[in-house]
A = this chain, B = another copy of it.
Amino acid sequence: MHLSKLFIPILKDLPSEAKIKSHQLMLRTGMIKQSAAGIYSWLPLGFKIMKKIESIVREEQNSIGAQELLMPTIQSSEIWKESGRYEDYGEEMLRIKDRQGREMLYGPTNEELITDIFRTSVKSYKSLPQILYHIQWKFRDEIRPRFGVMRCREFYMKDAYSFDVNDEQARNSYNKMFYSYIKTFNRLGLKAIPMAADTGPIGGDLSHEFIILAETGESHIYADKSILEINLNKYEASDKSLEEMRKDFSSIYAVTDEKFKSDEFNKFVKKENQLKTKGIEVGHIFYFSDKYSKPLNCLIDNKGGSKTPVCMGSYGIGISRLVGATIEANYNNEIMKWPKSIAPFDVVIIVNISKNNKENLEKAEKVYKELKKQNIDVLLDDVDENMSNKFKKHDLIGIPYQIIIGSKTEQNKYEFKELKSKIQILSLDNIKSQLKK
Beyond A7-B67, A36-B104, A137-B137, is A41–B117 a contact (Cβ under 8 Å)?
A: yes
Contact A74 B121 (CB under 8 A): no
Number of identical monomers bound together in the oligomeric complex: 2
- A71 near B: Cβ within 8 Å? yes
Beyond A7-B130, A99-B91, is A33–B72 a contact (Cβ under 8 Å)?
A: no
**Considering the chains assembled together, what is the distance between the CA atoms of A44 and B69 in angstroms?**
5
Tell me the chain A residues, 280-306 only, with Cβ under 8 Å from chain B: none
Contact with B along A36-56 (1 / 0, CB 8 A): 110111111001101000000
- A426 near B: Cβ within 8 Å? no
Contact B74 A154 (CB under 8 A): yes
**Closest CB in chain B relative to A154 CB, distance in Å:** 5
Tell me the chain A residues, 61-93 only, with Cβ under 8 Å from chain B: 65, 67-76, 91-92
Contact A141 B99 (CB under 8 A): yes
**Considering the chains assembled together, what is the distance between the CA atoms of A153 and B94 in angstroms?**
18
- A239 near B: Cβ within 8 Å? no
> Which chain B positions have C-beta within 8 A of A48?
68
Which of A37, A41, A132: most chain B CB closer than 10 A? A41
> Which chain B positions have C-beta within 8 A of A237?
none
Contact B6 A71 (CB under 8 A): no
**Considering the chains assembled together, what is the distance between the CA atoms of A47 and B94 in angstroms?**
26
Closest B residue, CB atoms, query A30: B121
Tell me the chain A residues, 88-134 only, with Cβ under 8 Å from chain B: 91-92, 94, 96, 98-100, 102, 104, 106, 113, 116-117, 120-122, 127, 130, 132
**Closest CB in chain B relative to A149 CB, distance in Å:** 11
Tell me which of B7, B39, B154 contacts A121 (CB under 8 A).
B7
Beyond A30-B121, A36-B104, is A70–B41 a contact (Cβ under 8 Å)?
A: yes
Contact A73 B73 (CB under 8 A): yes
- A331 near B: Cβ within 8 Å? no
Which of A35, A47, A91, A143: most chain B CB closer than 10 A? A35
**Closest CB in chain B relative to A95 CB, distance in Å:** 8
- A368 near B: Cβ within 8 Å? no
- A210 near B: Cβ within 8 Å? no
Contact B35 A71 (CB under 8 A): yes
Contact A121 B9 (CB under 8 A): yes
> Which chain B positions have C-beta within 8 A of A37?
100, 102
**Closest CB in chain B relative to A298 CB, distance in Å:** 14
> Which chain B positions have C-beta within 8 A of A69?
7, 41-44, 47
**Considering the chains assembled together, what is the distance between the CA atoms of A69 and B42 in angstroms?**
6
> Which chain B positions have C-beta within 8 A of A68?
44, 47-48
> Which chain B positions have C-beta within 8 A of A5?
65
> Which chain B positions have C-beta within 8 A of A72?
35-36, 39-41, 137, 154
> Which chain B positions have C-beta within 8 A of A120?
9, 33
Contact A9 B74 (CB under 8 A): no
Which of A74, A76, A92, A100: most chain B CB closer than 10 A? A74
Closest B residue, CB atoms, query A93: B99
Contact with B along A3-19 (1 / 0, CB 8 A): 01111010000000000
> Which chain B positions have C-beta within 8 A of A141?
98-99
Closest B residue, CB atoms, query A76: B36
22 interchain pairs, CB-CB under 8 A: A4-B127, A6-B67, A7-B69, A33-B117, A35-B71, A35-B72, A36-B74, A36-B102, A39-B72, A39-B74, A40-B72, A42-B70, A43-B69, A43-B117, A44-B67, A47-B68, A47-B69, A74-B94, A74-B139, A94-B99, A96-B106, A98-B141
A residues bordering B, Cβ < 8 Å?
A: 4-7, 9, 30, 33, 35-37, 39-44, 47-48, 50, 65, 67-76, 91-92, 94, 96, 98-100, 102, 104, 106, 113, 116-117, 120-122, 127, 130, 132, 137, 139, 141, 143, 153-154
